[in-house]
Amino acid sequence: MRLYLSSYKVGNHPERFLELLGDNKKVAVIRNAVDYAEPEDRRESVERAVGELKKIGLTDIEEVDLRNFFGREKELEERLKEFGGIWIAGGNVFVLKRTVEKSGFEPVIKKLLLEDSIVYAGYSAGACLAAPTLRGIEFVDDLTLAYRDGREDFSWGGLGLIPYSIAPHYRSNHHESERIEKTVEYFEKQKIPYKTLRDGEAIVIEGGKETLLT
């Protein structure tokens, strides 16, 4: 299993992400954490995410919009098999989770990770989604944005790719850093295993080895 979990954008060591990709450096940008935005704003956020990856030397980048795969899990699997990695950019983790549920993304990505055919990478919401639970992130992200589809029930489980939660933007020059302190307090109070990431830092997991890039 190969994971690259960053606090903000690609972090200070993008070369490690490139190394994880190996020979297949075609990357799928998943920008569903901003599905609540106006179409033009969402389009611009996709372009920014693509631009960030181009800056580190990647050239074969395509958006994969999970909303196009609702009820089409097998087709999503075949689509993602084209890529060496996925890049899940930040935004609202609850909006992202709702789309993940509807598209069947979770079983697909877990299968591909077990086959070691893809890298799971992302920052902020994309990193938080990898945890066993999304509890605590409600101090930062607006949960009600996930209710825009008319459903007010919510499943709090993350993907469970790692055995702890992540608190991104920790004590960083980021507008969410103050609220992240409340998240960390919640993790401590509820005895939820967690790790903090300052902007620029990333966690790399390759096989059974985990490394913190500072």
Q: Are 133 and 157 in contact (CB under 8 A)?
A: yes
Q: What is the pLDDT of residues 129-181, one digit of tens each?
A: 999 999 999 999 999 888 876 666 678 999 999 999 999 999 998 888 889 99
- Interval 83-110 mean pLDDT: 95
pLDDT for the residue numbered 152: 63
pLDDT for the residue numbered 154: 72
pLDDT for the residue numbered 207: 85
Q: Are 35 and 42 in contact (CB under 8 A)?
A: yes
* pLDDT confidence tier of residue 192, bands split at 50, 70 and 90: very high
Q: What is the pLDDT of residues 23-80, one digit of tens each?
A: 999 999 999 999 998 899 999 999 999 999 999 999 999 999 999 999 999 999 999 9
For residues 154 and 158, give the distance between their C-alpha atoms in angstroms, rounded to a whole number: 11
Tokens of 152: 């007010």
Whether the CA torsion 128, 133, 135, 138 is positive or negative: it is positive
* pLDDT confidence tier of residue 114, bands split at 50, 70 and 90: very high
Q: What is the pTM of this model?
A: 0.94
What is the set of domains in the chain, with CATH numbers? 2-213 (3.40.50.880)
Rg (CA), the chain: 16
Q: Are 63 and 32 in contact (CB under 8 A)?
A: no
